[in-house]
Amino acid sequence: MQKVQNNKAWWLVLPVFLLVAFSALIPLMTVVNYSVQDIFGPGQAFFVGTEWFKEVLTDERLQDSLLRQFIFSGAVLLIQIPLGIGVALMMPKSGIKGSLCLILLAIPLLIPWNVVGTIWQIFARGDIGLFGWGINQLGIDYNYTGDTLDAWLTVLLMDVWHWTPLVALLCYSGLRAIPEAFYQAAEIDRASKWAVFRYIQLPRLKSVLIIAVLLRFMDSFMIYIEPFVLTGGGPGSSTTFLSQTLTTMAIGQFDLGRAAAFSLIYFLIVLLISWLFFTAITHADKEK
């Protein structure tokens, strides 16, 4: 659509600008302010420059949790994107069955995150949970509160359960947008199932997939409540992800300067990677 140049449009954007500035800029400035000071108490703050940043960047605990975070987000994307596409391909095209699928798939997305943790806490327990009990019954020793690998797999499975539906729903709507004529043409050409997927469906899914990847990356990178409820970050610190490390530091230990420096680095990482995705999206839009 041809847009008109009109700076008066700022008046329409002003409420949003003020609101977001209030709830984002002021807190962000506070964080920046803390990150360059050492605070002992009210009125006892000292300017320390980039000291905290240096310390944070060389802190082993943080590096570990950053590494864990990247592995987790990577695993999430590797599992959920293909699985989501698969589910979307299997969903009924229309009618009552289609909308029923839509609603049932959306249920995990609408459950408060702490309840998601609770559900899995109950479900995966060896004594009272169907899942944990079943696995143990199969003769596999499984205990998510004691074993690191089990804890990891449980957190990962929980996230797959929680968020694959989002990817599926996005892909589903992307698939619905493909005109029927495309499939008819493929049929005339006797294209195989794979060829239809590879050359018709996948390219058309591109823009939805970029958004799915972006959303799943951002949200998995900020994951906090679910593993916190499920494993409490343990055993040891094996499932402690970035947000939890940060929260413990800021609220638990009240280590303001260090937490603030860490916050900024954290935010910058998310912003940088998201910006790369965002450029990819706008680029894809232009090609259309």
Partner 1 sequence: MRQTRSKNVGITLFILLLLTPIYWLLNMSFKTNQEILGGLTLWPQNFTLDNYAVIFTDPSWYNGYINSMIYVSINVVITLLVALPAAYAFSRYKFLGDKHLFFWLLSNRMAPPAVFLLPFFQLYSSIGLFDTHIAVALAHCLFNVPLAVWILEGFMSGVPREYDEMAYIDGYSFPKFFVKVFLPMIRSGIGVTAFFAFMFSWVELLLARTLTSVDAQPIGAIMTRTIGASGIDWGVLAAAGSLTIIPGLLVIWFVRNHVAKGFALGRV
List, in order, residues 6 or more apart from 213 with CB less than 8 Å away. 77, 81, 277
List, in order, residues 6 or more apart from 164 with CB less than 8 Å away. 79, 80, 83, 84, 87
**What Å distances lie between residue 34 and 76, 194, 246, 277, CA to CA?**
33, 55, 14, 30
Q: Is residue 140 a contact residue for partner 1 (CB under 8 A)?
A: no
List the one residue from 54, 61, 176, 198 that touches partner 1 (CB under 8 A): 176
- Calpha distance 61→9 (Å, rounded): 48
Could you say which residues in the range 103-132 bind partner 1, by CB under 8 A?
A: 103-115, 118-120, 122-123, 127-131
In the complex, what is the shortest distance from the CB of residue 30 to partner 1, in angstroms, rounded to a whole number? 4
Q: Which is nearer to partner 1, 75 or 160 (CB)?
A: 160
| 240 φ/ψ angles, rounded to the nearest 5 degrees | -85, 110
List, in order, residues 6 or more apart from 112 with CB less than 8 Å away. none
- Specify the DSSP class assigned to residue 2: P
Q: Is residue 24 a contact residue for partner 1 (CB under 8 A)?
A: yes
List the one residue from 66, 85, 155, 169 that touches partner 1 (CB under 8 A): 169
Q: Is residue 195 a contact residue for partner 1 (CB under 8 A)?
A: no
In the complex, what is the shortest distance from the CB of residue 189 to partner 1, in angstroms, rounded to a whole number? 18
Q: Is residue 135 a contact residue for partner 1 (CB under 8 A)?
A: no
Which helix (H) or strand (E) segment is 123 a member of?
helix 113-123
Residue with structure tokens 């293909």?
82
Start-to-end CA span in the chain (Å): 14
- 224: number of Cβ within 10 Å: 17
| 87 φ/ψ angles, rounded to the nearest 5 degrees | -65, -40
- Specify the DSSP class assigned to residue 178: S
Closest by Cα among 45, 44, 43 to 35 = 45
- The interface mask with partner 1, positions 251-280, x = CB under 8 A, is x----x--xx--xx-xx--xx--xx--x--
In the complex, what is the shortest distance from the CB of residue 125 to partner 1, in angstroms, rounded to a whole number? 9
In the complex, what is the shortest distance from the CB of residue 143 to partner 1, in angstroms, rounded to a whole number? 16
Q: Which is nearer to partner 1, 18 or 78 (CB)?
A: 18
Could you say which residues in the range 44-83 bind partner 1, by CB under 8 A?
A: none
Residue 179 tokens read as 């005109």
Q: How many residues lie near partner 1 (CB under 8 A)?
A: 96
Q: Is residue 173 a contact residue for partner 1 (CB under 8 A)?
A: yes
- Calpha distance 204→197 (Å, rounded): 10
In the complex, what is the shortest distance from the CB of residue 200 to partner 1, in angstroms, rounded to a whole number? 16
List the one residue from 7, 60, 180, 288 that touches partner 1 (CB under 8 A): 7
In the complex, what is the shortest distance from the CB of residue 236 to partner 1, in angstroms, rounded to a whole number? 21
Could you say which residues in the range 214-253 bind partner 1, by CB under 8 A?
A: 215, 218, 221-222, 224-225, 242-244, 246-247, 250-251
